[in-house]
Amino acid sequence: MPMQEPQAILFDLDGTLVDTAPDLANATNALRLYHGLAPLPYEVIRRQVSNGGSALVTLALGLEATADGHAQARQYLLDAYEKAVAVHSRVFSPLDVWLNDWHSDQRPWGIVTNKPRRYTLPLLEALALQPGALLCADDLSVRKPAPEPLWEAARRLDVKPEQCWYVGDHSRDIEAALAAGMTAVAVGYGYISEEDNYRQWPADLWFEECKALVDALGAFKR
């Protein structure tokens, strides 16, 4: 079936729109160094980035979320990240070029992320990203996989949910998109664990490479 043209594109942030793994990996290894441990390989950390700060602490120190010392370690990691939130992070190529064209055409787009605003805003400012709608983890009483942040983003862009694509690299992104009545787009270039197969997620569309996503989106260029 031909793809239906979206009126707006919504993105997950980490691992979908922006490659933030290098800076998060540095923060994770800073935590290990603080505890006298050797750095972990970048690719090992990269696969856990979409699972959030608690998952990175568990990876770095073996502390589960309920363990003593986990909360303190998580705060240390986040503090280290906040000091260098956009040193190496970049918009995935060639999504950066496509996004500039889409934005220039005044077509609506937005970001719905489970990242708190405290870390999101400095990142977007450093990358000169200006989404028409931005929903972060602390903006509503619920976050993904709940559909409400996606609905609110669509409302702010003045489009209907069914007119939106939501693009993400985690199963919760797909769950949220489907619950919101949006076209659920799964990408395989993001931060996906070894045991996870993104093509088994119940998405509407799947793209292995960022270029394939951009080629599909390019078909809707006015």
Q: How many helices (H) and strands (E) does the chain have?
A: 9, 8
**Helix (H), strand (E) at residue 58:** helix 53-61
Active-site choice (12, 19, 139, 169): 12
Per DSSP, the residues of 98-161 read HHHHHHHTT--EEEE-SS-HHHHHHHHHHTT---SEEE-TTTSS--TTSSHHHHHHHHHHT--G
CA distance 70 to 68: 6
Task: For residue 8, give the nearest of 190, 214, 147, 162 by alpha carbon.
Answer: 162
Tell me if residue 101 is catalytic: no
Tell me if residue 169 is catalytic: no
CA distance 125 to 127: 5
How many beta carbons lie within 10 A of that of residue 217, not counting itself?
21
Is residue 131 within 8 Å of 148, Cβ to Cβ? Answer: no
Active-site choice (14, 139, 169, 173): 14
Instruction: Point out the residues that are catalytic.
Output: 12, 14
